[in-house]
Chains A and B, each alone.
Chain A
């Protein structure tokens, strides 16, 4: 049956080439089902390549895995839920086992969700796993995204994958929104009500948009089946497709790695897929799934039976969306009402439109184009496979934190009512404060973050040049005290000195012979400005000669008995000091 057993002539030429080949001939030949399969698809060629593929190890690389696994858990439990969920807004009278709602008129969607929660054994567990996994999915996507951003993993050649990831994260939010709207309970129905208001706020097309999406007047009977189709078919298909492309690109590019001894931009250091990563990453799937199941066992999420069926008239206090839509809800709470105005009898709902329909696309566009902006500013067209330590890219890190601070302000705003109640504060004061913070927090956090990064870089420099503080104080015979600094090993030192420190670009000639700005100069001047913004504050990594000089200084100090360990600047002072103070010098 199998033809793989025959010795092929080419194989004889490669004898002893690789250990794996020797092993292959020593162990039993590929037969049975595997042989039958290989006869038909020839997968054996790829297996040996894939099995030995190397992945670097770092805890932060697990974040993307959490996203991947919680997505798989969502897909799995989601399929289960479709067996019992009825995506219909038809009104029925509840006669299930949950006593408080018996006899109440409700939509079939809500009735079937109650049935999943009370009448289908284990149904509540599956529903809660699905909801928890969705929340964890979106969290991990965002945190993974932050990791990629702050370590500069989005740089060439991975810009496309960054864009894929950006779209994935947006889809994750939309998918989540569509999902939690399906049960048609009072809370989610209120969310759909708000969504209807968002659509109506769109200039010119708003009313049409609302009628198209809802298939007529709000709420209608079309929105639940349409959201269902989007939630179980349309968005998951795109999600899974993009996710596959995302993973394939990771395979193609080989994973980035943090700098370290032996790691270069030209290699990847780590463990092979088989067996270590199969065990670790495969095991991690079970850990993620297991933890989600454990949470779902003991922590109730979205108790729709407590909210009651959707009805446009009643409402509950503390109506909020799931967490990932919180920032958009917060934006709506912060936008002041006076932004709405009328021209020629047409209403511009600028108190709603920017926070509802503009915010998400705008935010994700900014995120998506960032790698291209940074690449244009730096002019860096090289491939980067070594990650940046966030402190070594102070401006990027500060931009990221500034963006996050803006997000956090919006996110907090979505809880302004709860904060007011729990903290006994005025909701008006909280809202006003957050309105101010929305503009103040980003520049302040930018500045603070950048300073912290630069200080950390200086600390690294000092550590390289003067060693690590051991905490051991020596007292000399002459009464002098000195803290012993231990020199770093070359391996320890390498992490602190390996990075490139970019300097700002400067314009040399921007005018032609007649003193007129050349067209290229205008663009270049802008770029020089950006470059200064990014790189004018810089701390250069120490060089071997600086280290040498620092050693001499220590020796000198030792001789002079003045124990100058607090001195930061290396000996040969003047110009060395300039490097460290370069940030001021360039101002």
Chain B
């Protein structure tokens, strides 16, 4: 279809300009008849100083040459400073603060070396090169009907000579082969990207099964030292990892994967403030352990407001109320932070006797299954 010839095509429809002044061309525009202004044509060219005055032209030339000269100077500064400035040198940059001398000097010299070439070239173009505007005609993008007809004929001839239109067997078998050949490639990529282990999403290394069924000690992160209950004073916050992480650290394998789900925050507050009995029961005299992985998209819930007992995720500001079993009180997260049941072992250290009772971290499709 040639959509340049829409005037005729559109005539058959029933849409007309609202003014109903008789013309039915689309688009509807009010430019009607002869009552319109005429394009006055290009205004007269105004000469610049350098066009008429040789002195001004000479001046412009000198200015441009100066800019280029300064650029060369800046390049020289770069070359010298690259070797002259020691790596560790710093200085006080007024208004910015302590700065790495090398970076500032190299950057400024490189910047000016490049920038001045640009300024020089533009100044040259604006003062000395011709500023008389040139008019170039446009032509419609579309090919002429003859050209189109010829193209159609040529293509049709080519297609005919393949005998495709007469031999459907070729058409369908080729289509099938072309349609299928990408499958192996796609399968290779997608099939081998994994592995997929969705059950793993619901599992953390806080499960006593990972510790031969023994309760797992809460360890300070990153020191990996056990936490005695009497060290947990009221209002204190501990970043906690399970004792079982040590095995991963020693082996040097999958440490971050384990940490990504096992991070726990331990906070002690006045037990009377805790409004949920289960939360109280799962803690030790007001010391509560919760998963530190946000139930929104998995950032670490790292900000604890000691006065309000709110835990805030710095990524998207989901706010969890510690006194309400870490229920979401604001922000985009839906679910409370999962609580880790803790108690004190015979040696006086905090331990988890059972793993998390639900998957930690962000939601996923199979989460509740």
Instruction: Tell me the A521-536 residues at the B interface (CB within 8 Å).
Output: 521, 524, 527-528, 531-532, 535
Q: Which residues of B contact A282 (CB under 8 A)?
A: 121
How close is B17's CB to chain A, nearest CB, in angstroms? 5
Which 10 residue pairs spanning A and B have beta carbons closest together?
A297-B107, A290-B115, A197-B297, A283-B121, A286-B118, A262-B42, A293-B111, A294-B111, A287-B118, A379-B26
B148 at the interface (CB under 8 A from A): no
Q: Mark B188-231, 1 if CB is under 8 A from A, else 0.
A: 00100111111011000000000000000000010000000000
A225 at the interface (CB under 8 A from B): no
> A18–B128 Cα gap in the complex (Å)?
24
Q: Which residues of A contact B190 (CB under 8 A)?
A: 212
Whether the pair A275, B298 counts as a contact (CB closer than 8 A) is: no
B244 at the interface (CB under 8 A from A): no
Whether the pair A219, B37 counts as a contact (CB closer than 8 A) is: no
Q: Mark B121-134, 1 if CB is under 8 A from A, else 0.
A: 11011100111011
Whether the pair B121, A500 counts as a contact (CB closer than 8 A) is: no
> A203–B330 Cα gap in the complex (Å)?
24
For chain A, which range describes its interface: under 10, 10 to 19, 20 to 34, or 35 or more residues?
Answer: 35 or more
Q: Which residues of B contact A279 (CB under 8 A)?
A: 121-122, 124-125, 129
> A280–B131 Cα gap in the complex (Å)?
12
Whether the pair A428, B140 counts as a contact (CB closer than 8 A) is: no
A to B contact number (C-beta, < 8 Å): 409
How close is A213's CB to chain B, nearest CB, in angstroms? 7
Q: Mark A261-274, 1 if CB is under 8 A from B, else 0.
A: 11111111111100
B54 at the interface (CB under 8 A from A): no
> A206–B298 Cα gap in the complex (Å)?
14
A586 at the interface (CB under 8 A from B): yes
Q: Which residues of A contact B122 (CB under 8 A)?
A: 279-280, 283-284, 287
Whether the pair A269, B134 counts as a contact (CB closer than 8 A) is: yes
Instruction: Tell me the B16-65 residues at the A interface (CB within 8 Å).
Output: 16-20, 26-31, 35-37, 39-43
How close is B60's CB to chain A, nearest CB, in angstroms? 13
> A61–B93 Cα gap in the complex (Å)?
36
Whether the pair B334, A203 counts as a contact (CB closer than 8 A) is: no
A491 at the interface (CB under 8 A from B): yes
B255 at the interface (CB under 8 A from A): yes
> A265–B138 Cα gap in the complex (Å)?
8
> A215–B113 Cα gap in the complex (Å)?
46
> A282–B121 Cα gap in the complex (Å)?
8
Q: Could you say which of B152-160, B174-182, B267-275, B312-320 contacts chain A?
A: B312-320
Whether the pair B37, A497 counts as a contact (CB closer than 8 A) is: yes
Whether the pair A289, B114 counts as a contact (CB closer than 8 A) is: yes
A296 at the interface (CB under 8 A from B): yes
Q: Mark B256-293, 1 if CB is under 8 A from A, else 0.
A: 11011101000000000000000000000000000011
Instruction: Tell me the A269-322 residues at the B interface (CB within 8 Å).
Output: 269-272, 275-276, 279-280, 282-299, 310-319
A118 at the interface (CB under 8 A from B): yes
B250 at the interface (CB under 8 A from A): no
A91 at the interface (CB under 8 A from B): yes
Whether the pair A268, B136 counts as a contact (CB closer than 8 A) is: yes
Which residues in A have some Cβ–Cβ distance to B below 8 Å? 52-54, 91, 97, 118-119, 121-122, 124-125, 128-129, 157, 190, 193-194, 196-198, 200-208, 210-213, 215-220, 252-254, 261-272, 275-276, 279-280, 282-299, 310-319, 329, 332-340, 342, 345-347, 349, 351-352, 356, 378-383, 385, 416-417, 427-428, 431, 490-491, 493-494, 497-498, 500-510, 520-521, 524, 527-528, 531-532, 535, 540, 543-545, 586
Q: Which residues of A contact B361 (CB under 8 A)?
A: 197
> A74–B197 Cα gap in the complex (Å)?
38
Q: A215-B193, A298-B104, A335-B332 are in contact. Are A347 and B365 (CB under 8 A)?
A: yes
Partner of A287, one of B17, B87, B115, B200: B115
Q: Which residues of A contact B316 (CB under 8 A)?
A: 329, 332-333
How close is A475's CB to chain B, nearest CB, in angstroms? 34
> A507–B103 Cα gap in the complex (Å)?
68
Whether the pair B29, A503 counts as a contact (CB closer than 8 A) is: yes
How close is A118's CB to chain B, nearest CB, in angstroms? 7
Partner of B136, one of A254, A298, A316: A254
Whether the pair A125, B293 counts as a contact (CB closer than 8 A) is: no
Whether the pair B117, A283 counts as a contact (CB closer than 8 A) is: yes
B302 at the interface (CB under 8 A from A): yes
Q: Which residues of A contact B91 (CB under 8 A)?
A: none
Whether the pair A340, B334 counts as a contact (CB closer than 8 A) is: yes
B146 at the interface (CB under 8 A from A): no
Q: A346-B365, A524-B13 are in contact. Are A207 and B298 (CB under 8 A)?
A: no
B165 at the interface (CB under 8 A from A): no
Whether the pair B15, A297 counts as a contact (CB closer than 8 A) is: no
Please count how many residues in chain B sit with their CB below 8 Å of the partner chain's CB atoms. 119
Whether the pair B330, A428 counts as a contact (CB closer than 8 A) is: yes
Task: Given contact pairs A270-B134, A280-B125, A287-B119, enumerate 18 new A-B contacts (beta carbons under 8 Å).
Answer: A122-B106, A128-B107, A200-B201, A201-B364, A202-B365, A216-B195, A216-B197, A218-B260, A267-B135, A312-B259, A333-B316, A379-B10, A380-B27, A381-B26, A417-B317, A502-B27, A543-B36, A544-B36
Q: A268-B135, A337-B334 are in contact. Are A311 and B259 (CB under 8 A)?
A: yes
Q: Which residues of A contact B298 (CB under 8 A)?
A: 193-194, 196-197, 218, 312
Whether the pair B28, A504 counts as a contact (CB closer than 8 A) is: yes
> A204–B198 Cα gap in the complex (Å)?
12
Whether the pair A253, B141 counts as a contact (CB closer than 8 A) is: yes
Q: Which residues of A contact B196 (CB under 8 A)?
A: 207-208, 211-212
Whether the pair B195, A383 counts as a contact (CB closer than 8 A) is: no
Whether the pair A262, B106 counts as a contact (CB closer than 8 A) is: no
B294: nearest residue on chain A (CB-CB)? Answer: A197
Whether the pair B297, A193 counts as a contact (CB closer than 8 A) is: yes
How close is A509's CB to chain B, nearest CB, in angstroms? 5
The 26 listed contacts between A and B (C-beta, < 8 Å) are A52-B134, A54-B134, A97-B88, A121-B102, A122-B102, A197-B297, A211-B193, A215-B195, A254-B138, A266-B138, A268-B136, A276-B131, A283-B119, A287-B122, A294-B115, A312-B298, A351-B332, A378-B26, A379-B15, A379-B28, A501-B30, A504-B28, A506-B15, A506-B18, A531-B28, A586-B18
Q: Which residues of B contact A196 (CB under 8 A)?
A: 297-298, 362
Whether the pair B263, A276 counts as a contact (CB closer than 8 A) is: no
A527: nearest residue on chain B (CB-CB)? Answer: B15
B241 at the interface (CB under 8 A from A): yes
Q: Which residues of B contact A266 (CB under 8 A)?
A: 137-138
B144 at the interface (CB under 8 A from A): no
Whether the pair B30, A500 counts as a contact (CB closer than 8 A) is: yes
> A502–B25 Cα gap in the complex (Å)?
12
Q: Which residues of B contact A315 (CB under 8 A)?
A: 299-302, 314-315
Q: A125-B107, A212-B196, A333-B316 are in contact. Are A521 and B328 (CB under 8 A)?
A: no
Whether the pair B300, A213 counts as a contact (CB closer than 8 A) is: no
Whether the pair B106, A297 counts as a contact (CB closer than 8 A) is: yes
Whether the pair B131, A271 counts as a contact (CB closer than 8 A) is: yes
B300: nearest residue on chain A (CB-CB)? Answer: A315
Q: Which residues of B contact A431 (CB under 8 A)?
A: 317, 330-331
Partner of B317, one of A53, A218, A333: A333
B309 at the interface (CB under 8 A from A): no
Whether the pair B332, A119 counts as a contact (CB closer than 8 A) is: no
Q: Which residues of A contact B73 (CB under 8 A)?
A: none
Whether the pair A351, B296 counts as a contact (CB closer than 8 A) is: yes
> A513–B333 Cα gap in the complex (Å)?
59
How close is B289's CB to chain A, nearest CB, in angstroms? 14
Whether the pair A337, B37 counts as a contact (CB closer than 8 A) is: no
Q: A313-B259, A315-B300 are in contact. Are A336 and B332 (CB under 8 A)?
A: yes
B322 at the interface (CB under 8 A from A): no
How close is B54's CB to chain A, nearest CB, in angstroms? 20
Partner of B300, one of A205, A264, A314, A521: A314
> A190–B164 Cα gap in the complex (Å)?
56
> A510–B14 Cα gap in the complex (Å)?
7
> A200–B296 Cα gap in the complex (Å)?
11
Instruction: Tell me the B329-364 residues at the A interface (CB within 8 Å).
Output: 330-335, 361-364
